[in-house]
Chains A and B, each alone.
Chain A
Amino acid sequence: MSDSVFLIVKSILSWVNSFFVVYLIGYSTFLFLSVVIGSSELYKRRRQDKLKNTLFKNYYVPISIIVPAYNEALAVVSTVESLLDLDYKLYEIIVVDDGSKDDTSGELIAAFDMHPIRRPIQRKIECQPDEFVYEAICEKVPLTLIRKKNGGRADALNMGINACKYPYFICIGAGSVLPQDSLSRIIRPVLEHQNVVAVGGVVRPANGVTIEHGRAIKYKLPRNLLACMQVLEYDRSFLASRILFDKFGGSLLISGTFGLFKKDAVIAAGGYDTSTMGEDMELIVKLHEYCTLNDIPYCVKYATDAVCWSRVPENLRDLCRQRKRCHLGLFQSVWKHRRMLFDPKYGAVSFVSFLCFLIYVLLSPFIEILGAVSIVASFFTGLLNIRSLIMIFAVYTVFGCVLTMTAFFARMQTVDLKVRATDALRAILICFIEVTFFRFIMLFIRSTAFFGYKKKKLTQENKRKIGV
């Protein structure tokens, strides 16, 4: 290699290394800000609750709960039972069986003595046709089952929106459990603020938690290492970016497992997009875009105390599928709404939320792989100061762990969950494994999502099997 080529390579590597350091600083600062703001917000909320700075009455804003179900014969009955047990005066449950191959509908019909009915459903949003409708009048809650032709989760949700009769709807995953007070908590931002079009709830891994009548009566970290690491990851992500983005109305993601939406706004925006895998994120981005372009005052809020318990995958295969789908969905949403980026009309949503998602979530696997490659190349070209490198990574690791632990304990201290000392120690240990090991596995999985997609095109079936 001639000297001039070597110099060019060296200068490129030097540039890449500088970029990587700036990237890490940016990410760490973002994480730091979001965890500090998130923790202080949780403590403030707890203090508010103690001092009765809260709406302690139920104002009974009617809510429709939509449960899309595909091959959920085993879980659907218990999910509906837990929903019937909610402590809320006015709500309905609509289960949409998305053409299951198992007996999802049969299980429901038998368990709740449901009866066929010819119910006209207004198609305000396009969706696959229904095959039959069953209804039951429970003691306090109307329950509807709609069996429709298979069309994917987004299509099932669109059918649910068409059929629901109340002004706000919640979509939850079959297999999730809502605590009894979850509806009164998630509706609060609607009463507290004007023009709320969507409210995100908190999804917490149910693995290891003993839940009775929707209430977590015993909390411990799951035995399964993978699930345990996801507990820490969920706490960090729900605490971190979501509360930070909520501060300036820039939330870009409401989990499909537990989110509340204003029906009219969703219908006006066109409902869930059936062509993307990340329909949940796409809907929120679409709501931002629709309301901004049409000069409609709106806000998207995040309810830190509205919790939904949901099981997370305990094996790597399921986790891979879930994360690949999420990453592809994110890519599709960002690509579809790319015109929002750097558009002053969208304000902080464009310049902060959208940009953060793009750089620190969507592109992060590639940027970090580029960083790793540049380290190896720098080593061979003598550009690397090993001592500095080790120091940077050591501090970066400790930094990540401390922030994750802050998020974990802030969450525990503010939701009245008692953590045993052994669990606290385990959390600290697993935190290191999560930051040094699990995080890189996730990066690898996310980076391969695109390749897998091109080769195999994750099928519609995969889409629905994996609940997020």
Chain B
Amino acid sequence: MNVEILVYAYFEICLAMIAFNIASALAFKMNDPKLSKKSDGFSKTVLRQLESGEADDRHRKYLRKKLRHINYLMELDGILDGLFDEKPDEVRRYVETLSPVFVYLTLEYSKKNQLQAAYYPYIIKKYRLFTGTKISAVVDMLTHMVQNSSLYCRENALQALYNIGDVGSVVNALKLLDGSGYYHNPKMITDGLLEFTGDREKLDFRLWACFDEFNIPMQLAFMDYFRFESGCHTEKMLEVMTDKSADLDLRLAAIRYFAKHSYGPAREALYSFACDTSPEWEYRAIAATALANYPAPKTERILRDLLFDRNWYVRYNAADSLERLGVEYDELVDIFEGGDRYASDMLRYRFDRKKLGGEVTV
């Protein structure tokens, strides 16, 4: 009897699974907006309005009602996306006149679940709906979203804020994100800041002004952003690099900055890092790379010494920098022919590699 109950239980599970399969297959078809007749009507209305150039009040009212539902917002995205390559100007003009609709939708989408809420900032960013215009309702919603537990809500909201281009909103959002305790990859912050559409000079000034208020991962993201952005941060970077109480990673990020942007006053500090004998080999390794940007007899001498360092990466970077400085074989012949196999192997590889890089492409 017990066995039979068990068998029936499993039999019912089987039936439930079959029902699940059929239901999910049907749900997929029904969820496809392109298959729905209602969606056809929506597409026609949007296309008709788009042809006429811009959205009138009646159309905006229609969209306010429709776009509260995520499927219609996705449908609108699909239509505009499909037409953008063909008629970019028309699409742009039409989208510009939709701003009031999206201001209205801010409240609607702030009430939706994480999955749907994240789509709204994506649309704002994609169609540059409020670029250069700070509308407090929209910015407040996006700033609030930055503290959401969903990574995608946070990232899409940040992307929209970078696109709106208001310095205060971005810095405020980053502060809130930093304080929220959620992990947000620093690489994403760096890349995002590089897409900021507003006044960069003002943004950089504000970021430096409140630099110490942020945690180390966020500070590192800013340091990388400054490195990729411009060579205008040399003085601040030198301060960080020479501050012995600063975090190791921050100081290394500053050395990397000077590897990309040459700055005379940083030279001596870089020399001292390269000659540093502390166990933290990272200083020597990255300084060895940075010195490729500071040609001088002293630089060459230090790099030659680093070829005999006990750390593999230091030797590798020193050989790389010597090659980049254009030091010729004749000037290094004593190392090539010398007794230190590590140093000569490393140099030989870099010189062979240079030769290879110039002539081989696939």
Among B17, B74, B153, B357, point to the contact of A137 (Cβ < 8 A): B357
CA distance A398 to B316 in the complex (A): 62
Residues of A within 8 A of B21 (CB): 402, 405-406, 409
Residues of B within 8 A of A403 (CB): 17
Indicate whether A131 reaches chain B with its CB closer than 8 angstroms.
no
Among A39, A51, A57, A396, point to the contact of B70 (Cβ < 8 A): A51
Return the chain A residue nearest B319 by Cβ.
A120
Indicate whether B329 reaches chain A with its CB closer than 8 angstroms.
no
**Inter-chain contact B10/A51, CB cutoff 8 Å:** no
Given A53-B150, A120-B349, A395-B10, check contact A59 B188 (CB 8 Å): yes
- Interface size, B (range): 35 or more
**Inter-chain contact B151/A28, CB cutoff 8 Å:** no
Residues of A within 8 A of B3 (CB): 21, 385, 388, 391-392
Among A47, A59, A114, A137, point to the contact of B185 (Cβ < 8 A): A59
CA distance A114 to B356 in the complex (A): 9
**Inter-chain contact A122/B183, CB cutoff 8 Å:** no
**Inter-chain contact A52/B118, CB cutoff 8 Å:** yes
Indicate whether A25 reaches chain B with its CB closer than 8 angstroms.
yes
Among A52, A84, A117, A194, point to the contact of B156 (Cβ < 8 A): A52
Given A32-B13, A118-B352, A193-B183, check contact A392 B361 (CB 8 Å): no
Residues of B within 8 A of A405 (CB): 21
A393-421 interface code vs B (CB 8 A; 1 in, 0 out): 00110110011011001100100000000
Could you count the A-B residue pairs with CB atoms below 8 Å apart for me: how many are there?
Answer: 126
Indicate whether A112 reaches chain B with its CB closer than 8 angstroms.
yes
CA distance A396 to B191 in the complex (A): 53
Residues of B within 8 A of A59 (CB): 185, 187-188, 191
**How far in angstroms is the closest Cβ of chain B from A45?**
11
**Inter-chain contact A118/B122, CB cutoff 8 Å:** no
Residue in B70, B342, B352 whose Cβ sees the most chain A Cβ within 10 Å: B352
**Inter-chain contact A48/B353, CB cutoff 8 Å:** no
Residues of B within 8 A of A115 (CB): 356, 360
A136-149 interface code vs B (CB 8 A; 1 in, 0 out): 11110001000000
Return the chain A residue nearest B155 by Cβ.
A55
Within 8 A of B (CB), among A179-217: 191-194
Indicate whether A456 reaches chain B with its CB closer than 8 angstroms.
no
Within 8 A of A (CB), among B186-220: 187-188, 191
**Inter-chain contact A39/B357, CB cutoff 8 Å:** no
Within 8 A of A (CB), among B294-329: 312, 316
**How far in angstroms is the closest Cβ of chain B from A195?**
9
**Inter-chain contact A117/B119, CB cutoff 8 Å:** no
Residues of B within 8 A of A117 (CB): 349, 352-353, 356
Within 8 A of A (CB), among B127-160: 150-153, 155-156
A99-115 interface code vs B (CB 8 A; 1 in, 0 out): 00000000000001111
**How far in angstroms is the closest Cβ of chain B from A408?**
10
B109-132 interface code vs A (CB 8 A; 1 in, 0 out): 000001110110010000000000
CA distance A39 to B28 in the complex (A): 13
Given A43-B24, A137-B356, A405-B21, check contact A51 B119 (CB 8 Å): yes
Return the chain B residue nearest A119 by Cβ.
B349
**Inter-chain contact A138/B361, CB cutoff 8 Å:** yes
Return the chain A residue nearest B349 by Cβ.
A119
Indicate whether B54 reaches chain A with its CB closer than 8 angstroms.
no
Residues of B within 8 A of A32 (CB): 13, 17
Q: CB within 8 Å of B: which residues of A?
A: 21, 25, 28, 32, 35-36, 39, 43, 47-48, 50-55, 57, 59, 61, 84, 112-115, 117-120, 122, 135-139, 143, 191-194, 385, 388, 391-392, 395-396, 398-399, 402-403, 405-406, 409-410, 413
Q: Top 5 nearest A-B pairs by Cβ distance?
A: A53-B152, A138-B362, A52-B122, A194-B183, A120-B345
Q: Can you name 12 extra interface pairs (CB under 8 A) apart from A136-B360, A392-B6?
A: A39-B24, A43-B24, A51-B119, A52-B122, A53-B118, A59-B187, A113-B360, A117-B356, A120-B342, A399-B13, A402-B17, A403-B17
